[in-house]
Every structure is written in C-alpha cells, then in structure tokens.
Structure 1
Amino acid sequence: MKKFKLIPVFLIFVGLMSSCEDTIMDWEEVPEENQVTTAELPLELAEKISRYEPLKTYTDVVLGVGIVMDLYVNDAAYRALVNENYDDATVGYAMKHGAMVNNQGQINFGPVDNFIALTNEAGLDVYGHTLVWHANQNANYLNSLIAPTIIPGTSGGNILDLSTLKDGSLNGWEKNGTVTVAADEGLAAGSRAVKFEAATPANYYDLQFRSPLNTSIVAGHTYEISFYVRSDNSGNGKVTFRGLDNNYPYKDWYGSGASDNFATTSEWKQVKFTVSDFKTEGGQLQPFGIDFNFGYGSNINYYVDVNTLSLVDLDAETEVVNLITNSDFENASLNPWSGYGNGSSRSVSAQGAGYSSDYAMVLTNPVVANSYSAQQVFEFPTALESGVAHTISFYIKSDVAASLEVELQSPDYSADYSGAINTTTNWTQVVRTITPSTTDRTKFIFDFGASAATFYIDDIVLTTGEIAAGSETIIIEKTDEEKAELIGAAMEDWMSQMLTHYKSDVHAWDVVNEPMKEGGNLRDGNVTDPANDDFYWVKYLGKDYAVTAFKLARQYGNPDDVLFINDYNLESSLAKLDGLIEYTNYIESQGAEVDGIGTQMHISLNTSRDNIVQMFQKLAASGKLIKVSELDVRLGTASPTMQQLLDQSAMYQFVVDSFREIIPASQQYGITLWNLSDKANEHEFWLPEESPNVFDTNFGRKPAYKGVADGLAGRDVSEDFSGELVD
C-alpha cells in the first residue's frame, strides 16, 4: 500500500526592504520538480470508499445479499442499491413455508411472483431460501394434519344402554347370524366394536343386530341416531326399525335420490339421521327398537363402534339451571361479558363457527404473560352460594395448542380456581367443579393470558345441578406410520409446487436448513417449548427426512440446480461442523445428491479467527461447493465508534480473504451478506438495535464496504487511487 506524506507547500517569499515607506514584495516559485502535487496528499477514508466501484465488480464468485422482499418491491432506492451491488438476492422470510402456505395447505405465489418479475427485469438472480426447515413453518397447518381425530360426544344423554356391549356381552340385544363384540376393533385404541361376519347371506336381515325395545320414547319428539361403521372390504348396511309408522324408511345416504342402505369402506364413516314418526295403537305409543342389517356381499366383516352408538332425544327438556346468561352467543353479542388486559381482544365469531350453533365467543391474547393478565368476565347479580359445588362446562378450541383457566372471584380479587385447562385446535368439552370458599364470589372469569393464542368458547354452563354432558368425546390418535405418511406427503406437496413453479427463475436452493444441534448431533424435534411456527420434519420422518428432501429437490427442480445444506455457528462449534459434514455424507450414501454446504456466519468482532480458518479448511476438505450464506458482523450497538467500524471492516475482510485463500477456486460458490443496510426496518426481527451491515442507515457506504471489496479483489483497491479530485 502506498503511503502518502503530508509535505507543506511553501511559496518562497523574498523581501527587499529599501525603506519603511517603500516595501517591495517579490514571489518566487519553487522549481517544478520539487513541488508536491495534490495526488500525494492523503485521501480521507470516506473519499476513498466513495471512489470504489459496486461490490460485485470485484469478484467472479456469486455475490449475494439477504433482503426484505417488501422493501425491494416498494422502495426504489433500496432496490437500486441491491441491483447495483449484487448478483443474487435471498429473501429472508417471504419464500418460506410459513409465509406462503395458508391453514388449508394452499400456496400463495402472488407476492413472490411480483418480486421475481422485478428481479428478472433487473437481471438479478434469486436464491431459494428455504425449502425444509424447522422454523418459520405454518405449524398450524402441519400439526392439523397429524392431530387426533375428535369425535364429539352427543349433545344429550344416550337412551341406549350400552353396558352389555362395553363389557363384551350381548345381553339384552338380539342377533341373527354371526354377530359378536370384538375387542380392540373400535375407533379409539383398545375400544370395542360390534362385529358382523357376512359369509354368504341371502338377505340383508340374515345378518342383523337388534336393540332392546325402549318404552321411554316421548311422542312428538325427534330423536337422533348416530354411529360409526367400517368394513374390511367395500360393503353396504341398512337400518330398519320397530315402532315407527314407516319401519323401513328410505334414507338419502348418498346425497341424491332415494336409497335405503349406506356404503361402507375400510375407513370409519359416521351414519347419522333422525326419526320422529313413532307409532301409536289404541292411544298407546308402541315400543321402539333399532335394527342394524349387514347381510350384503360375501366374506365381508363389518364393525360398528360401541362408544359412538347413540340415541338422543333432541327435544328433551333440561333441568339444568344455568347461572350464566348469553352462554351460547346466539344473539351475536358478548353482552354482558366484558374483559381487559395484555392488549387482548374479544369478539363474536363469524356465523357458523360455533360448536353446536352459529356463534362462539372469540378471545385473543397477543403475547405470553401471566394467566390473569388477560381476562374475560361475567358478573352475577348476586353472590354464589358458598360451600356448594358448582359445575362449569363449556366447549373450547384454540388456533394453537394453548392453556387457560377459570376462576370464581370476589370484589377484592380473592378467588377459587379451576387449575390449568389445556386446549387444542379441535373442539373439546371441559367440565370442572369449583366450590366457592366464601360468600362473596360475584364473578366468573376466563384467565387466558398464559398463551399467545386465539380461543373459541361456546355453550358455557355454570350450575349447581348435573351437567347433561351426553356421551363421552372420543379422541383417536394417529399412529406413527400414519403421521409419517401425512407429513411426507405434505413435504412433497410443498416442495414439488415451489420447485415446479419457480423452475425457470430459481436455480439454487437451501434445500435443508439448520439440521444440526450445537454438539454435532442431528436435531430430533423433541423440544419442550417450540415456537408457534416451529415444526420439526425430522420428528415424523426420521433421520432420512433430508434424504427425501434432496431427492425431491432433484426430482422436481432443474437437473443443474445447485442444492445446498445450510447451518449456523459452524465457525464457533467445529463439532457441529463435523456433524454437518458427516450428515451430508450420510445423505449421499442413501442415494441423494448434495451439491454444496452453506455456512451462515453471523459473527461478531470477538469471533475466533483461528476457528474461522479451521472451519474453511474442513469445508474445503469436504469437496463440496462452499457458500458463505448469511454473513454479517454485529457490533453490539446501533451507534458504533469509528474504531468499531474499522474493526468491523477488518473482520469482514478477514472472512472474505480466508474464503478466497482456503477454499479452492473450483469449490467457491459465493458469499451472501445478510441484509442490505443498518436501517431499522431491515432489523425488526433480526439484530434490532444493531449495525451489522456494509451500508449505514442512510444507504451510505461504511468502512466495511471497503473491507468486503478489498477482500473480494484480493488487494487494497484504493492503492491505485490518486488524490486528484474526481467528479
């Protein structure tokens, strides 16, 4: 580097003084060969940096930048700076699963399509980030695929006596043909089903199961009959009756036309219908019975789940005295409910979103705090009776797995509590008993501040009597094999659509992101407190989840797409780096192809330079293409000193120099700087109150710009600069 000396330029003064009143001043110039030109004056650092060319000028490897897509689309100055300095752009969030996939699994390509249209116009490539990661997922959708099947209990008491079916006998029930109670064949694990063995029946009633005759039917009431049924081969069933005006009714099982039987398959299917035409003879209502007929087909086994078999009087009068008014929100109002706290909100749901009716109460808590930091309150006109057990019942679901509790409170805020109530994305009935400990309990309260979630609540009952809970809700968990099949299909659907849709526009991808733990082991997804948008593919697909991902990327993308595995902290944990390289080798041993390894490099001034060197040496030895994928150098402040800025520049240059010197040229894919500038709107979610980038908050070049440029060029670019002023 040329060093400039600052030499004062003197114009020689020769003074000849002949008298005080006659002063003659002559100026004599220094000979030209002894003059100091302006080119020899030192250039200030800012002036030097201003004379640098755009960053991508100084390298033949891919120089990229991580961007905020909305800023690129909507801020012309931001877009121009990206286009001027970089070869490709990596969208920080907007191309991830969580940003693009809705709760029904549908992908919204529109915003990214608009972005790519602008990059195509500018000649800027787009790097795909990222296809398979555990974070920034639409976890609500993915978890809904593997959620247990919830079969709500009946809305009223079951008139059928199922006790002899549940204990495995058929006492009180009549049968014709081979009908038994089979253990472990019901909907829920370990539950029973009535099994019908159709060998070669001639008539539908040759294989029949008949309920005991019931004499408690009320004339004029409507009754609902429901059950779940399946068969090991495709078949048909039929329901007939005793005690109706029409004991062989035609039911529209298929949705069009008249049919008196229903189809069955290997999947459980609910059959539900109502009857009301009960027969009277001599002024007496005739006993009522239900007959299940499966004499269709040959060599078919049919199963009717015992726990879901029910007969419910839909017009039965309840004797429950509900102490809560507006408990089902069918007036589309929350009055007289009120609430407050934690920035929470409360509303009535859209029509049709209630549990058993049109509306439900909707409570939303934005952030996690104490349970009582967000409350919804119902005040009683008089205090509840102390020492008397009060039963609380309601139906509830939430948009994510969450929890809340209920309490009976006094004006001085003392209370009796229910304890934590866990909620899921499926409607569940909650029943709790609380006994007021004093005579001044005047409020019923939902405490919902413990989870960042939206709760839907319906059919609230508070009573000192019995709750007519109906039959028990059945929860059916999916098997590990079923979960793997569903999640595998979701991965293929997501990847195939992304790779196919952007086949002409994106030619390099982060296929698998951050697969390793810090110690070098593969993540397993068993975490105690996952974020709301965390979903671990590995938990359901196992160690080969990345094998599948890379095979899908090659299958649906272009043959020459460059496919990366990417992780962070590889410079600070060499054990993690070793684990990542080992896992990459395993992926390829299973028949998939990994083109490159990305090292993120979110570093600081204190990051070990020796570790950086060792990291690049190990990466070079892998034989893979190597990409520095998310480089930034944080300073711990948004207002750095000049020394910190110079040290930041030196660290940037050290990383770029090390990459160029250690990684063989044939393996150098490129370097991506993470975020364009230090502007706050680029750091809302990543390194807020920091200054980690090469452009400042006004898009001005920082000393780090020079460090990166010199590193890319392999020399001090400014050594060629003169001090001559340039326009």
Structure 2
Amino acid sequence: MKIIKISMPLLLLSAMWGAGCQKNIESDKKTDPGTDATLHGVAPFPLGVAVNYDSIMTDGMYTSTVFSQFSNVTFGYNMKHGAIVQSNGSYNFSKADAMVAKVTGAGLGVYGHTLCWHQNNNGNYLRNLLAVPGSTPSNPSLIANGTFETPGSTTPFANFSVLNGSSYISAGTAAGEMYEGARSLKAAPAAAGNPWSVQIASDAITTTTGTAYKVRFYAKAANAGGKFRLSNSPSAQYSADYYPTTSWAPYEWTFTANDVSKKIMFDMGYLANTYYIDSVSVTLVNPPASAASFAEQKMRIDSTLKNFITAMMTHYKDKVHAWDVANEVLDDNGILRTGTSSSDAFYWSDYMGDRTAAGATAITNGDSLLTKVFNYAHAVDPTAKLFLNDYGHESNPRKMDSLIALVTRLKAKGVPIDGVGLQMHMSYLNTTTGIDNALLKMAQLGLLVRITELDISVNLGSQTDPQTANFVITPTMFPQQAAKYKYVVESYIRNVPEAQRYGITVWGVSDSDSWLRSRLPYHTKDYPLLWGEGYNKKEAYNEFLKALQLQ
C-alpha cells in the first residue's frame, strides 16, 4: 500500500515523550487469530480492514488474520487512479484483480476506494493532458488595419504609406467596392507602367529570418485584364503576378523572411484599371502550438475522470457494491481543496466547474465536482452505495459543518449520494465529546454512516520534528488507546441508527503495517492498530472486541 499523508490536527496538540521505562510492547508468542472469538463474528455490522498488495498476496499470518477477523477489505492503494492509470491513459487492473480474486475467494467483500482524490493519482498523465496544445492555435494577423477601415491623418489609411502614385490611391466606399466593412484600398492607375509606379506599403511588421509567412487578401478589378503584384522590403522579395477577376476572390502569397522586419507592398501600376483590395492579413505559415484554453482543459479533465469512474465501476460491478466516490474534497478550513499539482497530487476540483480558473476562488464549494462524480458513478451502477469520505469530523467542527452543508445541498439537488464516510484517523487523546458529536451529526443527515479508516495514534509528535523519532511509549498510553477504540464502537452504535450503520473499517492490520510509520522523516514509531508487530492481540483488540460483543 502506498503511504499517504493525512492531516490530523489533534496529533499536533501535544507530544508525550515519557521519561520512565519503555513498556514491553510485544511478547514473543504469536497469537493464533482463529482460537478466540473473531471481530466480524460478533460485530452487529460489517467490519472491514485496509490491506496492501504485498502483504495480502504473500504474508501468511497477515492474510489469515484478515480472513478470520474481518468481513470485508478496503485496498489502501490499488484501486486508486495512480495504481490503475498508465502513462498512456490505459488501465492496468492486474494487481487489483489479483487482490479481489483472493479476498472474495475467501468469502470477504471489497469496499471500493477511491474514485476521486487529490492524491495517489497518475499526476504526470493528467498534467500532460493539460499540456496538450489547444484545438485552435493562436495565429493573429501581424498587419495593422488590414481592412483599411481606419483613415490616416495625412494618408487614406492608417498604418499604410503611399510610396508612389498617390493621386491614384484612395478609399473605396461605394456599393460593391468593399469585401467587408465600409472601406477598401482602391487603386486606379491611368496608364500602363512599372508595377511600383503606383505603390502602397504597410507599416513594418516584425519577422523572424528563415520563418515562412503568408499574406492573404481579397481583390477584384473593375474590368477584366488587370494585373498587379506584391513585394516586400527592405530586402525585396516579389510575389507572382495576380490577374484579378471582376468579382471578389481570395489570393495568397507565401514568403520566407530574410529580414527581421518587413513592409508589405501592393504594386498596382502594371496596367490601367481600377483595383480593390480588402481584408489583408499576414500570419505564420506554421504557427506554434498554443496552450489549451481553460474550457478545453476542463473538458479533458472532466472526460478523463468520467472515463476512469466508468471503467472502475464497470470492471468491478459484480464484485464491489459500495464506493468512496470522492475523498477529502474540503481542506481543514472547510473550503474546496486546491493546490499545486506535483508528483501524484492533482486537484480535480480546479477543473470540474467549481472554479473559473485553476486555483481561482471557488464559485461553489464542491457542488459541481460532487454532482458530476456521483452522477457518473450512479449511471454505471445504480445499485451501488456511493459515499463521500473525509477526515476531521471528530476534531474539526468548522470542517464538519461545511461537510454537512455540502451534503445537505447535494441531497436537495437530488444528487445520488447514499452515505458519508468518517475516516477517524485520531489519537488516543481525542475527546469522547468530539466522537459523539461527529457521529450524531452525520447520522442526522439520514444517510448511511461508515467509519472508513479508523486508527488511533499514540505518538503525537510532528513528522517534521526530529524529537518524534525518539518517541518512547508510557504505561498509560495503551490502556487509553484501548478505551478509545472501545468508545468509538459504543458511540457508533449509540448515535447511528441501526438502519444507517454501514460498518467500521480499521486502517491496517498490525502496527508494523501502519501508514503512520512512514510519515517521514521522523514519524517512524507509532502503534495505532489492534495487533502488535508479531500479530499479537493488543489491549486495543480486546476492548474493541468487547465493545462489539456487548452490542
């Protein structure tokens, strides 16, 4: 299982280092998990555990403990986006399939975790998806006043200079003399001559030597048989001759720049006639790829998330009947989560309709994201139970209130949300009042309630504090941890009506498997689970079992 970092504000409240002797944490004897009453055997609701691939596939004691003590499992990592989605966007279900086959073959259920989370994604694939060029490259015209609409102060047209034959150049304004707008370039040489004898030049445009440019314009002549050309300066280049008809038609000239700037010139003096030029543009022949617009990026991310949800729920439709559809959408302030996408972090909520731009202030607090993902999931499997999972309910009233308000809005809109998941990553010092309040308030939503990731830490040190690595357990910690495990069960049953209880999942088997031991660099000592490192049942196990038996 990939180790993740989950913010647990209460863990930072205090650090207990203990000056006395270290309590003996493990005995040498391993307990056979099949000799006593089992947790799921006495539990009045589904009882689950988080498992990782290597241990469930290869560790016999780990596997026998899981199979004998629990009725369902949650994969800590192997159903997440980062585990399934490959660098080319394809899906690899092989490890998840092997795990599903093994646990279901033993009679256990699988709880799906998770379809939309800001961590454990294939971040490189998603960032590459954002970086794909836009569907319409940016290639603006480099020439100013190419429609000749703006008159100059001393010349017929702003941004153009008449070099020769000024008496023959004017603005075309009569009916039929414009291709678009109200004015065109009108050149009327009175007699045949050199092409440059009647000549008008644009202002200089910046060019890159060796780069190809395309001049495009519309032209017509009053009479058949006319002829003109284009040229540029200062290092002159010439187009082929043009023979306009008496109807508007488009013409083009492509040149490769041999200067760092160019003036585009219309050489109209070949033959007597009246010529009309309009809608002149100068653009790159091969424009550089442009970044996708935010609208395009939103469409891509929405589509790839919908496809992932559809693929996962379709693939496991006969095996997985409940899912954490979205996980940790709100931050510790109860605000829609955002951040910098790096490594496996990717903030789906930036692109799913809740913001006007990535990282911008949210216009809705997760409503758009969750409406979409829950509807996508429900469309694949209308019978599946769909959960919104998060942490901090028991210790962060502000966040809990935001979650309650969010779920209430979703329910009012008819969003198919069936349940709420309370992770309950906590410490042995969490207050019982906080636990009661969280379970009671979430139950009042009328949805299914599941404790999804229960563990109870005894090392309260910060992972960034070097002293945390010197943690020494004190004699009172394990009894308090055990009492807290017991209390969680009691509070769950007391505050959540039976019809709404969707079970409890413990986030790991033995202390040595816990994600908390990989909170680098310093939080490597903790004992948050029901079994010790040798799969010995801890006091926490006994009290947890007792609470289940008493119900």
Q: What TM-score results when the alignment is normalised by the length of structure 1? A: 0.50
Q: How far is 1:685 from its partner?
A: 3.8
Rounded to whole Å, the distance in 2 between the matches of 1:215 and 1:709 is 91
Quick one: which of 212, 218, 226 aligns to 2:231?
212
* Distance apart, 1:48 and its partner CA: 13
**Amino acid corresponding to residue 523 of structure 1 in structure 2:** L
Letter in 2 for 1:58: V
Q: Distance in 2 between matches of 1:539 and 1:515?
A: 11
Look up the SS of the partner of 1:498 in the other structure: helix
Q: State how far apart, in whole Å, the 2-side matches of 1:667 and 1:100 are.
A: 31
1:544 is aligned to 2:519: no
Q: Does 1:600 align with 2:414?
A: no
Aligned equivalent of 1:74: 58
For the 8 Å contact 2:214–2:255, the answer to whether it is kept is: no
Show the counterpart of 2:204. Answer: none
* Superposed CA offset, 1:37-72 (max 9, x none): xxxxxxxx9999996322111113110111222321
Aligned-partner Cα distance in 2 for 1:693–1:601: 13
Shift of 1:660: 1.3
Answer yes or no: is 1:101 the counterpart of 2:85: yes
Is 1:621 aligned to residue 450 of structure 2? Answer: no
Q: Does 1:574 align with 2:392?
A: no
Structure 2 counterpart of 1:482: 296
- 1:538 maps to a residue whose letter is S
**SS of structure 2 residue aligned to 1:134:** coil
Displacement, 1:164? 8.0
1:656 aligns with 2:489: yes
CA deviations on 1:167-215 (whole Å, 9 max, x unpaired) are 9989699xx994899xxxxxxxxxx9978789xx9xxxxxx99752689
Q: Deviations over 1:208-248 (max 9, x none)?
A: 99752689699xxxxxxxxxxxxxxxxxxxxxx9579xx9x
Task: Give how far 1:674 is off.
Answer: 0.5
Counterpart residue identity of residue 98, structure 2: N
The residue that corresponds to 1:322 in the other structure is none
Counterpart code for 1:482: E
Distance of 2:131 and 2:32 partners within structure 1 = 61
| 8 Å CA contact retained: 1:50, 1:701 | no
**1:598-624 deviation line (CA, Å, top 9, x unaligned):** 111111111111111111221222211
Cα-to-partner distance string for 1:274-296 (whole Å, 9 max, x where unaligned)? 99xxxxxxxxxxxxx9xxxxxxx
The 1:538–1:680 alpha-carbon spacing in structure 2 relative to 1, beyond 3 Å, is closer
Q: Which amino acid aligns with 2:306?
A: E
Alpha-carbon shift at residue 664 of structure 1 (Å): 1.1
Aligned to 1:679: 512
The answer to whether the Cα contact below 8 Å between 1:657 and 1:714 also exists between their aligned partners in 2 is no
What whole-Å deviation, never above 9, does each CA across 1:1-50 have from its counterpart, x for those lacking one? xxxxxxxxxxxxxxxxxxxxxxxxxxxxxxxxxxxxxxxxxxxx999999
Preserved contact between residue 87 and residue 125 of structure 1 (Cα < 8 Å): yes
Determine which structure has more spread, i.e. the larger CA radius of gyration. 1
- 1:110 has 2:94 as partner: yes
Tell me if structure 2 keeps the 8 A contact 1:194–1:304: yes
Q: Measured at CA, do residues 196 and 476 of structure 1 come closer, stay the same or move farther in structure 2, by a change above 3 Å?
A: farther
What is the rounded CA distance, in whole Å, between the counterparts of 1:117 and 1:554 in structure 2? 24
Please show how residues 26-175 of structure 1 align to structure 2 within 5 Å: 52-147=36-131, 149=133
Name the SS of the counterpart of 2:89 in structure 1. Answer: coil
Pair 1:501 & 2:315 matched: yes
Secondary structure of the 2:231 match is: coil
Amino acid at match of 2:399: K
Q: Please say if residues 680 and 689 of structure 1, whose CA atoms lie closer than 8 Å, have aligned partners that are also in contact.
A: no
* 2:331 matches 1:523: no
- For 2:344, the aligned partner's letter is D
2:431 is aligned with what amino acid? S
Q: SS where residue 388 of structure 2 aligns?
A: strand
Structure 2: distance between partners of 1:530 and 1:691: 32
5 Å matches for 1:20-31? Answer: none
- SS of the residue corresponding to residue 101 of structure 2 reads helix
Specify the alignment match of 2:413 in structure 1. Answer: 590
Structure 2 stretches of 5 or more lacking a match? 1-28, 151-157, 163-176, 184-212, 221-226, 243-253, 257-264, 266-278, 355-366, 461-470
Cα distance in 1 for partners of 2:142, 2:389 equals: 60
Q: Is 1:309 aligned with 2:142?
A: no
User: Residue 109 of structure 2 aligns to which amino acid in structure 1?
Assistant: D
Match of 1:705 in 2: 541
Which secondary structure state, in structure 2, belongs to the residue aligned with residue 130 of structure 1? strand
Partners of 1:209 and 1:710 in 2: CA distance: 99
User: Identity across aligned pairs (percent)?
Assistant: 30
User: Do 1:147 and 1:478's aligned partners in 2 also have CA atoms closer than 8 Å?
Assistant: no
Of the structure 1 ranges 111-120 and 548-557, higher mean CA displacement relative to structure 2 is found in 111-120
CA distance in 1 between counterparts of 2:228 and 2:403 reads 61
> Conserved in 1, the CA contact under 8 Å of 2:138 and 2:290?
no
Secondary structure of the structure 2 residue equivalent to 1:555? helix
- 2 CA distance for matches of 1:305 and 1:537? 40
Structure 1 pair 514–193 and aligned structure 2 pair: CA distance change class (3 A): farther
- 8 Å CA contact 2:52–2:75 kept in 1: the answer is yes
For the residue of structure 2 that corresponds to 1:149, the secondary structure is coil
Q: Tell me if 1:632 matches 2:443.
A: no
Distance 2:64 2:349 in 1: 40
Equivalent residues in 2 for 1:40-439, closer than 5 Å: 52-147=36-131, 149=133, 178=179, 212=231, 306=282, 309-310=284-285
Structure-2 separation of matches of 1:67 and 1:165? 68
**666 and 474 in structure 1: CA distance in 2 versus 1, 3 angstrom threshold:** closer
Pairwise CA distance, 1:513: 1.0
- Find the residue that maps to 1:129 and give its secondary structure: strand
Mapping of 1:432-447 within 5 angstroms?
none
Structure 1: tracts of 5 or more residues without a match: 1-44, 155-159, 182-191, 202-207, 219-240, 248-272, 276-288, 290-302, 312-470, 716-727
Q: CA deviation at 1:667?
A: 1.0
Give the number of the structure whose residues are more often strand, by fraction. Answer: 1
Q: By how many angstroms is 1:475 displaced? A: 4.3
1:644 to 477, 482, 493: 477
Instruction: State the match for 1:223 in structure 2.
Output: none
Instruction: Give 1:701 deviation, angstroms.
Output: 1.1
C-alpha distance in 2 between matches for 1:491 and 1:500: 14
Q: SS in structure 2 opposite 1:131? A: strand
Using the size of structure 2 for normalisation, the TM-score is: 0.64
Cα distance in 2 for residues equivalent to 1:178 and 1:193: 19
Instruction: Output the CA distance in 1 between the equivalents of 2:375 and 2:30.
Output: 49
> Which of 675, 690, 695 is equivalent to 2:531?
695
Report the CA distance between 1:502 and its aligned residue.
0.9
Change (3 A) 1:48 1:512: closer
The answer as to whether partners of 2:514 and 2:529 remain within 8 angstroms in 1 is no
CA separation of 1:217 and 1:120: change in aligned 2, threshold 3 A: farther
Q: 1:629 and 1:195, CA in 2 relative to 1: closer, same or farther beyond 3 A?
A: farther
1:333 is matched with which residue? none
SS of equivalent to 2:453 = strand
User: Residue by residue, what CA displacement relative to the aligned partner does 1:276-328 show, whole Å, maximum 9, x if unpaired?
Assistant: xxxxxxxxxxxxx9xxxxxxxxxxxxx9984x5159xxxxxxxxxxxxxxxxx
Instruction: Specify whether residues 621 and 170 from structure 1 end up closer, same or farther in structure 2 by C-alpha distance, changes over 3 A only.
Output: same
The letter for the 1-side match of 2:349 is V
Question: How far has the Cα of 1:76 moved from its partner?
Answer: 2.8
Aligned AA (2:347): Y
CA shift, 1:163, in A, is 7.6
1:9 — aligned with what?
none
